[in-house]
Structure 1
């Protein structure tokens, strides 16, 4: 008789669970503070998850992850150039209409000016005629200034507000492009739209050379996002819908 364990008076050996199988009773838990061991192989991604963080280019293949939109295609320079041409035609039509209205007013004002020839230069009638001519010329000049101001205002409202609230101009909508905020994927808003408009506008004051450089600046972007200088300043991207 064995005088071993008092709880085991018959001296039977306790059965061990088969090797490789969990023991009997409750499942064993890992000690606190020790992370569970992972299986072999690479961690599997959830279905629909993107391998890169938002805002990163996927191997410079023309696609980018944008927060709130997922993976989207960056607009090519060919599509952006085509959209700019369509916008140019639309703005030119507005220019022609406003210019025709302004010129008609100028021509009408010039015909109403009295001819001072034949009047005595020493008479008061001659001086009154000269004053009327000076006022007419001033009115025509003011009309021309008003036409240029309306043209500038129309361009500003078209480029600024369309991008700010719609996310695209007529040209971009025609070619399936839109402008979004890089960090949110939403519309640029008033601030982003204004910054994106004002930079090429200021560049246009230098014989339009600055504006051309701004519109060509996406070619200089080495990140693959095709962002121009105005896009970087406004924090925007031009993508394909």
Structure 2
């Protein structure tokens, strides 16, 4: 009985033998020489291969969080300053004795505009603080909201150049730090059940 050329990978294979190098594997047989196993499953970033191991927040994410806290604090301080300035404008107008209707309308418009900008700045500052506080436990939603928040920060900074140059740079840094691979791994990690 002849089995054909032993070097032909497509030739007939003897029954009962494991497939060798170059022979196609039949269903239900163990892989032979030349058939690599699947690669081992990779552990998530920072898990260290131990189940339940805690992951440390990457440095870039920590830096983005600190920048968010600082920028949010400045937004809240700016909001308070705008409201105080609006009342200072009103009191200065009363001291000057200008009683024309145009001066009063202009003062009311300025005061209303400053109060509106102050409230907007306060909302933006509080939103930044909430995002920074959620970095420790937040998921991908916090990451996406932070990127959108920093994008708006960059957009408003462009309109206020050259004074907004620092906030432009800090907004870009927040986007970069949160969007990097280690930032994505931090926000996509498995949360611990408490």
TM-score, normalised relative to structure 2: 0.41
Name the one with the larger strand percent.
Answer: 1
Greater helix fraction, Structure 1 or Structure 2: 2
TM-score w.r.t. the length of structure 1 is 0.35
